[in-house]
Structures are given as C-alpha cells and as structure tokens.
Structure 1
Amino acid sequence: MNAPSDRPSHPDPASVYAYDSHEFGRGVTFFDAIYAFSATLLITNLDAPEPAAWRSLQGLSEAGIGTQLFGFALSFVVIAVFWRTNVRMMRNLTGLDRPTTAINLLAAGLVILIPFTTQGISDPATQDYALPTALYALNIMLAALAQIALGWVGQHRGLNRVTPIGRERTAALVNAWLTPTVFAVSIPVTLAFGPAAGQWTWLTVAVAQLPLARYHRRHPAAVAST
C-alpha cells in the first residue's frame, strides 16, 4: 500500500472558477457584501435612550449607551479584520472550487452571527452575565478557525499562489492561530472569573499583533496565506 502523499491535490480545471473569471469576481462580491451587511447589522444593537437621558452625558452614560457603543466599536473592528483577512486569502487563491467556496461560506456565516452575539455583551441587561461573553468568544474563535481552514484547503487543493516556508511559515501560523487561541482561552476565564476578566483577555491579541505587524511589513509573504 502506498503512503499518502503530502503534495497538494489538483482539482479538475473545469470545476475551478479561475481568479480572472467572471464567476470568481461574483464570488468575491458576494462575500464582500456579507461582511458589509454584518457590519451594518451592528447598528441594530444600539437602542435610542429615553428623551430625558439626552440632557447630559451623565444621563446618556446611565442609560447604558456607553456599553452599547463599546460593543458596536469592538465588533466593527473585528468584522473589518475578518474582511481584510478574507481579502488577502482570496487574492492568494488562483481560483475557487467547491471545497474552498463551502468553507468560505461557513466563515461568512459565522461572521453574520457576530451582530447577534454582540447584543449579549453590549446590552446593559445582559452584559454582566458570563454566558454572553463566552458565546461571543466562541463565535470569534469558530470564525477564525474557518478562515484557517480556508487557507489549509486552498493549499491542499493546489490553489494557493504563495505558501510560506521556514520562518515565514512560522510567523504565518502564529498570526493565524493567535486569535482563535486567545478567544478559546477567554471562555474558561470568563466562566470562572466573570465577563470582565474574559474581555480583558482579548487584549492579548492586540498586544501580540504589534511585533507580528512589524515582521509582516518586512516579510509580506508571511501574510499571504493567512
């Protein structure tokens, strides 16, 4: 029996929408629209305060508008980062076939859920519960894992233009796995110590991204497939 090969498989060209094809362009437009719609849906989590609350900043703060704006801003940045990552990954593909399209749809579907889980962490009535923060972290973790799967399947199917090696591969893996790992760790932290502790854990991503960003500016190939 022959040992399984680690070399990428090559799909039937007839089943692949090439990068310069009309179908590939339609796919990119469709996914871009999903990310844009998800970001727009975040506005539905902002509830207009009672008229009396508009008399002062203190009144607006007591009405919970600060918490809602924090949830809006956080998730807007998160969705923008997911969109930017998707743009990079689509540029790195020579085409789309059924597996890559299916995984991209899964990632997009998980991004669509972000406005829903954002409601739990931004609503003053539920923000102090651990479960909303844990579900939000789970949502982000799964969306990040889906994008990792897209890069892996693209490589396995022989559709990636660039596959980093050596130090660039290590940097790419660290960059890709940082977000799902931190958000996965934040779930037990949240359940054990409360939502504030879990949300502070998320800052690890921003802190760790600083040296990674400097490395990626010097080695752009390390970002191409992540």
Structure 2
Amino acid sequence: MPGDQTLPAERLKAFADAVVAIAMTLLILPLMESVGDAAADGLATIEWLNENAGQLFSFALSFLLIANFWLTHHRLFAGIHRVTAGLLWLTIAWMFTIVWLPIATALLGQLEEDAGQKVLYIGTLAMTSLVMLLIRLYVLRHPALHDIPRPRLRSGLVADVVMLALFLLALAVAVLFPAVGYWAMFLLLLVAPLHRLLVRQE
C-alpha cells in the first residue's frame, strides 16, 4: 500500500476479529491437556479443580482482559472506514500482543511466580494498551479515514493513557512488592473513575 493510498477497513476488521477469537480459544488449551492428565491419573473433578486453580484463574483473567481489549478496538474501528499502511501495521502490532498473551498466561498458570513472569504478563498487557493508544493517536491525526467525533477520540485517548499508566503502576507494585503479586492488577478498577475525573476537568 504505497504512499497515502487507502483501502476499505472491512477486511482488517474481520482479520482482527478472527485473530482475537483464536487467541481467546488458545487460552483454554493448557487446561484441556490437564483434563486428559487428570483422567489418566484417576483424579476426581474436585481434585482437578484444586490442582488447576491457578490456571483457571489466569485463564479467566486473560479471557476477560482480551475481551475488554477487543471491545475497545471494536468500538474504535466501528467508525473507521479506510486504512492506510500506517494504520494497518499498527493494528498488526496490536494483534501481535494479543496473540502473545496466551503464552504469558500459560507461564502465569504453570510456573512458580517470579519477577520475570510478572514483567512478561503485565508487560504484555501494558504493550497492548500502548499500541491501542498509538492507533487512536494515528486515527485522530488522519480524519479522512473515519467519521468519529473528535471529542470522542480525545476521551478515548484519556482512557488509553489512564489504562497504560495503571498497567505500568501495577507492574511496578507487583515486582517491588512480591507479597502483593498479581493483586496489583486490581488497580485497573480505577480506570473508569480516573477517566471520568480527567474528562470532566478538560
């Protein structure tokens, strides 16, 4: 796609939707394998649930996070009708972070908790938020590609910045205070109130 040439956005939207659906499906594969192992070992259902509590939690958490990322992406791209090479590659970068998350999730559910695991998992989430922020900035600067009202784009930018900042803060807390660990992710509950506060002050 040379120069400023644009293409219809529909194929990119469909591609992104398919990639997200596959990534969400991949999250369950480690648990599927553990069911076979449990059957071979003669474990009862409650024993399997106890043995895989960590994996079940990481699966549910990552599933919800990917769903939230997809909703954000879907709402933005609903108003985008044309794509440039720049927007195409930014979206591919966003999809890369989504596809990587099942690997980070598997490490979270199966390995002993350590700083590297936290950097990989929460860092991946922060990277997804960063790329979403870059996508929205690109869209804001290329009004010919969309019909999204500028105030709505600016509000979305504020939400992206808040989410990225809270992911980075959660990462710092999780690494610096091992006893807190992944509970630091509850800082993400502050996204909505902080977004409302910042938008109100504009």
Q: TM-score, normalised by structure 2?
A: 0.83
Matches within 5 A, 1:108-123: 108-123=95-110
Mapped to 2, the partners of 1:143 and 1:135 lie a distance apart of: 12
| Cross-structure match for 2:135 | 150
| Cross-structure match for 2:79 | 92
| Cross-structure match for 1:202 | 185
- 8 Å CA contact retained: 2:133, 2:160: yes
- 8 Å CA contact retained: 1:120, 1:133: no
Pick one of 78, 98, 102 that aligns with 2:65.
78
| Cross-structure match for 2:158 | 174
Q: 1:208 to 1:180 in 2, by over 3 A?
A: closer
Percent identity at matched positions?
21
Q: 1:73 to 1:62 in 2, by over 3 A?
A: closer
Query: Structure 1: 5+ residue runs without aligned partners?
Result: 1-10, 19-23, 217-226
Matches within 5 A, 1:1-226: 12=4, 15-18=5-8, 24-46=9-31, 47-48=34-35, 49-51=37-39, 54-55=43-44, 57=46, 59-63=47-51, 65-123=52-110, 126-158=111-143, 159-165=145-151, 171-194=155-178, 197-209=180-192
Q: 1:143 to 1:53 in 2, by over 3 A?
A: farther
Query: Structure 2: 5+ residue runs without aligned partners?
Result: none
Instruction: Give the secondary structure class of the aligned counterpart of 2:105.
Output: helix
Q: 1:127 to 1:78 in 2, by over 3 A?
A: farther
Report the residue type matching 1:188 in the other structure.
Answer: A
Deviation at 1:186, TM superposition (A): 2.0
Q: 1:169 to 1:103 in 2, by over 3 A?
A: closer
Deviation at 1:27, TM superposition (A): 1.7
- 8 Å CA contact retained: 2:162, 2:194: no
Cα deviation digits, residues 87-113 of structure 1 (max 9, x gap): 112112231110000100000011100
Mapped to 2, the partners of 1:29 and 1:153 lie a distance apart of: 20
- 8 Å CA contact retained: 1:138, 1:184: yes
Mapped to 2, the partners of 1:174 and 1:197 lie a distance apart of: 27
Number of residues of Structure 1 aligned to a counterpart in Structure 2: 192
- 8 Å CA contact retained: 1:134, 1:186: no
Deviation at 1:61, TM superposition (A): 4.4
Mapped to 2, the partners of 1:84 and 1:204 lie a distance apart of: 20
Report the residue type matching 2:159 in the other structure.
Answer: N
Question: Which structure is larger by alpha-carbon Rg, 1 or 2?
Answer: 1
Q: 1:67 to 1:73 in 2, by over 3 A?
A: same
More helix per residue: 1 or 2? 2
Q: 1:92 to 1:119 in 2, by over 3 A?
A: same
Mapped to 1, the partners of 2:157 and 2:194 lie a distance apart of: 14
